[in-house]
Structure 1
Amino acid sequence: ITKPLQIAEQDPDAEHFTYNSWHMIGYERKLSDRGLCKFIPMVFRNLPDYYRRFLTVNVAVMGVTPMDEHGYFNMSMSNSHARAVFDVADIIILEVNEKLPFVHGLENTIHISEVDMVIEGEHEGLTEFPSIVAGPVEEQIAESIVDRMTNGACIQLGVGGMPDAIGKLIAESELKDLGIHTELLVNAYLDMHKAGKITNLNKHDIMRGKSVFSIAHGTKELFDWVSDNPSMCCAPINYVNDLSVIGEIDNFVSINSCIAVDLFGQISAESAGTRHISGTGGQLDFLTAGFKNPRAQSFIALPSTYTDKKGNLHSNIKPTFTGGDIITDPRSQAYTMVTEYGIENLAGASVWERAEKLINLAHPDFREELIESAKKVNVWRQSNKR
Structure 2
Amino acid sequence: MKRNFQNKFVTPEAAALLAVRDGDWVDYGFGAGFPELMDKALAARKGKVRDVKIRGGLVIRPKIEVVEQDPEQISFTYYSWHIGDYERKLQTRGMVKFLPVMLRSLSYLYREKHIHCDVAFVPVSVPDGQGYCGLGISNYAWRTIFESARTVVFEINEHLPQLQGVDGSHRVHLSEADYIVEGEHEPLPQRIYREPSETDTQIARLVLDEIPDGAVLSLGVGGVPYTVAKMLAESDRKELGCHTGTISDAFLELWKAGKLTNRRKEVDSGYSTWNLAMGSQELYDWLNAEPQLFHPGDLDYVHSVERISQMSNVISINGGVEVDLMGQENGESAGIRQLSGIGGQLDFLEGAYRSKGGKGFVCLNATHKKKDGTLKSNIVPYIAGGSTVSAPRTMIQYVATEYGIAKLSGKTLRERAEAMVAISHPDFRDELLQYAQDNFF
**TM-score, normalised relative to structure 2:** 0.83
Residues of 1 paired with 2:318 and 2:98: CA distance? Answer: 21
Calculate the aligned-residue CA RMSD, in Å. Answer: 1.3
Q: For 2:159, which of 93, 96, 99 is the aligned residue?
A: 99
Candidates 253, 269, 275, aligned match of 1:214:
275
For residue 234 of structure 1, the aligned residue among 296, 306, 311 is 296
Q: 1:294 and 1:161 mapped to 2: Cα distance?
A: 27
Q: What letter matches 2:411 in structure 1?
A: A
Instruction: Please say if residues 161 and 284 of structure 2, whose CA atoms lie closer than 8 Å, have aligned partners that are also in contact.
Output: yes
SS state at 2:75 partner? coil
Alpha-carbon distance, 1:56 to partner:
2.3
Of 215-224 and 100-109, more deviation after overlay is shown by 100-109
Structure 1 residue 126: deviation in Å? 1.1
Distance 2:283 2:173 in 1: 27
In the other structure, the counterpart of 1:20 is 79
Match of 1:348 among 410, 430, 437: 410
For residue 77 of structure 1, give the secondary structure of its aligned residue in structure 2.
coil
Whether contact under 8 Å (1:301, 1:339) holds in the other structure is: yes
Mapped to 1, the partners of 2:120 and 2:184 lie a distance apart of 21
Match of 1:110 among 150, 172, 175: 172
**Pick from 114, 123, 126: which aligns with 1:66?**
126
Q: Secondary structure at the match of 2:421?
A: helix
Kindly provide the CA deviation profile for residues 75-118 of structure 1, in whole angstroms up to 9, marking residues without a partner as x.
Answer: 11110211111101111111111111112325322222221111
> Aligned residue for 1:248?
310
- Asked if structure 2 preserves the Cα contact closer than 8 Å seen for 1:103 and 1:233, the reply is no
CA contact (8 A) 2:360 2:396 kept: no
Structure 1 segment 91-240 matched on structure 2, within 5 A: 91-105=151-165, 107-204=169-266, 206-228=267-289, 229-240=291-302
- Alignment length, in residue pairs? 378
Instruction: Return 43-52 or 192-201, whichever deviates more.
Output: 43-52
Please give the alpha-carbon distance, in whole angstroms, between the structure 1 residues aligned to 2:164 and 2:363: 32
**What CA distance in whole angstroms lies between the structure 2 residues aligned with 1:65 and 1:372?**
58
Q: Which runs of 5+ in 1 are unaligned?
A: 382-386
The corresponding residue for 1:38 is 97
Amino acid at match of 1:139: T
User: Counterparts of 1:250-329 in structure 2 under 5 Å?
Assistant: 250-329=312-391
Q: Whole-Å Cα distance in 2 between the matches of residues 191 and 268 of structure 1?
A: 29
Cα-to-partner distance string for 1:17-58 (whole Å, 9 max, x where unaligned): 121111111121122222211111111011112222222222
Moved over 6 A (4+): none
Distance 2:355 2:295 in 1: 23
What is the match of residue 17 of structure 2? Answer: none
> Structure 1 residues 216-225 or 102-111, which shifts more?
102-111
Whole-angstrom CA distance in 2 between matches of 1:108 and 1:89: 19
CA distance in structure 1 between the aligned counterparts of 2:351 and 2:127, rounded to whole angstroms: 38
Q: Which runs of 5+ in 2 are unaligned?
A: 1-58
Q: Is 1:78 aligned to residue 138 of structure 2? A: yes
Please say if residues 164 and 171 of structure 2, whose CA atoms lie closer than 8 Å, have aligned partners that are also in contact.
no
1:204-254 deviation digits (Å, cap 9, x = unpaired):
3x1000000000111111111111521111100121111110111111111
Match of 1:337, SS state, is: strand
Stretch of structure 1 that moved more, 332-341 or 8-17: 8-17
| Identical positions, percent | 39
Deviation at 1:309, TM superposition (A): 2.2
Whether the 8 Å CA contact 2:308–2:352 is kept in 1: the answer is: no
Give me the TM-score of the superposition, normalised by structure 1: 0.95
Deviations along 1:177-224, one digit per CA (max 9) or x if unpaired, are 0000000101111111110001100013x1000000000111111111
Separation in 2, partners of 1:165, 1:79? 26
Q: Is the 8 A contact 2:169 2:295 kept in 1?
A: no
Amino acid aligned to 1:147: D
Contact in 2 for aligned 1:104/1:232 (Cα 8 Å): no
SS in 2 for 1:208: coil
Deviation at 1:372, TM superposition (A): 2.4
CA distance in 1, matches of 2:391, 2:186: 39
Task: Report whether the alignment pairs 1:87 with 2:150.
Answer: no
Choose 90-99 or 109-118, whichever is displaced more.
109-118
Give the Cα separation in 2 of the matches to 1:5 and 1:124.
13
CA contact 1:247–1:289 (8 Å) conserved in 2: yes
Secondary structure of 1:230's counterpart equals helix
Report the equivalent of 2:66. Answer: 7
**Paired residue secondary structure (1:261):** strand
